[in-house]
A and B are shown apart, each in its own frame.
Chain A
Amino acid sequence: MTDTFTSSRTRSAAGNQPASAAENQSASRPGDKTAETKEPSLKGTFIAVMLLGGFIIASWVLVLALFLSRN
């Protein structure tokens, strides 16, 4: 997982430099392979979303356990 992110970041960084005319041309066209690699890394957002989801699940289970223990 980490590898994918590192490589995609490296590739997009390389894509920013006008290395060759062909590469530059393909980068400007939307929806092709090179444009896809340029999308922002959402790793931090993903971790934050999973932490929030984990917190919601833990709270839900905790409240259920409290209810069942008092029944």
Chain B
Amino acid sequence: MHIHRLEKIWIGFGLAMLLIFLLLTGVAAFAMGISPPSSSSHENMHHGKVDPTKLQTTAPFDKPGLKQIGDNEYEAVLIAYAFGYNPDTIDIPHGAKVHFIVTSSDVVHGFEIPGTNVNFMAEPGEVTELTHTFDKAGQFLVLCNEYCGTGHEMMKMTINVK
């Protein structure tokens, strides 16, 4: 089969692009640990599953809030519900690394800090984890960006970084 010289060039170009993108994605995922916010490996949780009706008696959601786990490193355990978050305010020291551990007690909610990479879903029965370092001081708004009912637009919480 005869292939035109230019056709060979653009097939090679396309294949090279595909390979480079796959390689970079692989390096980011396996060498740098960049992955989508997803299921937890937290103790007491079975592959990031949790019973949304038994959150009051299931660790760590029985005590939602901020917990220090290391040198300027924290765990933020949060429960999204219609129409708010528990707790609705957390204070984080400047420069702290925060591991968000979030679930929902009812329907699917969103968790977004505008202007950052913190943007994920809080689903009933699933535990979502995401780590973010707060380098900038100030007050951050957390919004629900998944339509969850009549009070959806009121659903928010505040993160104070000082």
Contact = CB atoms under 8 A, between A and B. Distances in A.
A24 B2 CA distance: 22
Interface residues of A, number: 16
B147 interface: no
A56 B2 contact: no
A39 to B, nearest CB: 6
A71 B4 contact: no
Contact of B117 (A45, A49, A70): A70
Chain B's interface size range is 10 to 19
Interface string A30-43: 01000010010011
A29 B133 CA distance: 70
B15 to A, nearest CB: 11
Contact of A39 (B4, B13, B21, B117): B4
Majority DSSP secondary structure for residues of B touching A: helix
A60 B10 CA distance: 18
Contacts of A31: 2
B70 interface: no
Contact of A43 (B6, B21, B117): B6
A43 B5 CA distance: 10
Contact of A36 (B2, B9, B13, B115): B2
13 contacts: A36-B2, A42-B6, A42-B7, A46-B6, A49-B10, A53-B10, A53-B13, A56-B17, A60-B21, A67-B117, A70-B115, A70-B116, A71-B117
Given A53-B14, A71-B117, 15 more contacts: A36-B2, A39-B2, A39-B4, A42-B4, A42-B6, A43-B6, A45-B6, A46-B6, A49-B10, A49-B13, A53-B13, A56-B17, A67-B117, A70-B115, A71-B133
